[in-house]
Amino acid sequence: MAPSLTLGEKLSIIPKLLIPLPAILVYTVLISPFSTALKRKKLYRLVFETALRTLGRASVHQLQWLNGTTLGSYRAWAKQFKVETLIEDVPKSGKKLMWIGNKDAEKVVFYVHGGGFMLPVANFAFTFWLFVQREYAKRTGKEISICVMEYSLYPQTFPTQLTETVHAFSHLLSNTKATPSNIHIAGDSAGGNILLQLISHTLHPVAGVPPSPLTTVCVRGTLLISPWVTLNEETRSYTQNDASDTLQSSTLISWGNHYLEGVKDSQLPYVKHLLTGERWFDGIDKVTERIFVTVGGAECMLDECSEIHQRLCGTMVDGKPVLKLDIEEGGVHEDMIMECGAGGKKLTSVGEKIVEWLREGHGDA
């Protein structure tokens, strides 16, 4: 349920967002030809990304109120795109699974959305995965379905999201026709962090959290789109790409600090994945056959995404899992998903690489 706001909180949105936004948009468009960070952006992307950056002026409470719920986002999106809704209860967590496509498909992508642990899934994330599904069918003539997991947002912190993911994925394994070898798990930003929480829990169980379903199965692959792994620590790319990214570094640090409230020191390696030892992910080859990390060359998280890929490479055994890193030149945070938010009607080149990676994983011609 989205939080309620006091009258004062609602009224303060006007000076924070509604009044300055038009001026900020005009100013940004006018200076863009003279800005190294902005001059390569198309107008529709420039406007969309500037609007997103401006939203960072609002409080988390206000943003949660403005964005509603993940379930509400799914229903509104499905109505807009004339897609049939399929919503499934996860009894042990009280959360939902939302489907794009046939629940009984033999091939499934289990998707954990981003939003900095603060926000529900953006409706354009559903659009991105719809495009992926359609392109996959076009290339292979075969069906792949997307299962989107709902999880608790801030003020709930670790290990709440991990526990909900354990229950959601266990439910998926028990209630669909897809076998683990035909399932890919995917997460962007905070969703990528949650998937790494799940893998860490598989290799180093967290007391009080139900056993990981990945303890006994190995999935076909893991897709990490701009995974957020440092939370509240600035890297060089935070400064370097602050002007070009859709998320300002100050917003990332603030949200990271919020999420870390109450997290014990002993639990930090499960959420700040670069604090782990060099061998922390040893055994990951028994958890996932393949890992694909994507990141934008112009986003704040560039350094940490590159570093987590390097860390994972150090745990390979006989070439497993098969690792791939794609750094998109000029790409911002979750660039291929942002394209859909800005009104793009097709996948970007990185989106197409994701489809091809899925196709290769399943061995579909």
pLDDT of residue 231: 96
Nearest to 233 by CA among 297, 161, 292, 307: 307
Instruction: Give the number of domains in the chain.
Output: 2
For residues 174 and 322, membership in a common domain is answered with: yes
Q: What is the CATH number of the domain that holds 346?
A: 3.40.50.1820
Same domain as 336, residue 325: yes
Residues 159 and 48 placed together within one structural domain of the fold:
no
- Say whether both 82 and 11 belong to one domain: no
DSSP assignments along 140-191, one per residue: HS---EEEEEP-PPTT--TTHHHHHHHHHHHHHHHHSS--GGGEEEEEETHH
Selection from 278, 276, 277, 273 nearest residue 314 by Cα? 278
Residue 29 shares a structural domain with residue 95: no
> 188 forms bridges with which residues in the sheet?
225
Q: How many CA atoms lie within 13 A of 63 on its CB side?
A: 21
Mean pLDDT of the chain: 95
Q: For 99-151, what is each residue's pLDDT tens digit?
A: 999 999 999 999 999 999 999 999 999 999 999 999 999 999 999 999 999 99
Pair (6, 80) in one structural domain: no
Q: Which of 13-17, 280-284, 293-297, 327-331 has the lowest mean pLDDT?
A: 13-17
pLDDT-based confidence at residue 365 (cuts at 50, 70, 90): low
294 and 225 belong to one structural domain: yes
This prediction's pTM:
0.96
Same domain, 5 and 97: no
pLDDT in tens, 24-33: 888 888 888 8
What is the tens place of the pLDDT at every residue in 82-96? 999 999 999 999 999
Burial call 205-237: b when 16+ CB within 10 Å, e when fewer: ebeebeebbbeebbbbbbbbbbbbbbbeebbeb
Mind listing the pLDDT tens digit for each residue in 223-272? 999 999 999 999 999 999 999 999 999 999 999 999 999 899 999 999 99
Same domain, 73 and 185: yes
The residues with which 98 forms a beta bridge, in sequence order, are: 87, 148
Q: Where are the beta strands (DSSP E) in 30-167?
A: 87-90, 95-100, 108-112, 145-149
Residues 36 and 101 in one domain: no
Tell me which residue range forms the domain holding 131: 69-362
Residue where a domain terminates, one of 18, 52, 68: 68
Q: Are residues 297 and 344 in the same domain?
A: yes
Q: Mark which of 68, 103, 126 sits at the end of a domain.
A: 68
Q: Which residues pair with 327 in a beta bridge?
A: 295
Q: Of 38, 68, 98, which residue sits at a domain end?
A: 68
Distance, C-alpha 159 to centroid of its chain: 18
Q: Look at the block and give the residue holding tokens 């992307």.
A: 45
Q: In terms of domains, do 340 and 270 share one?
A: yes
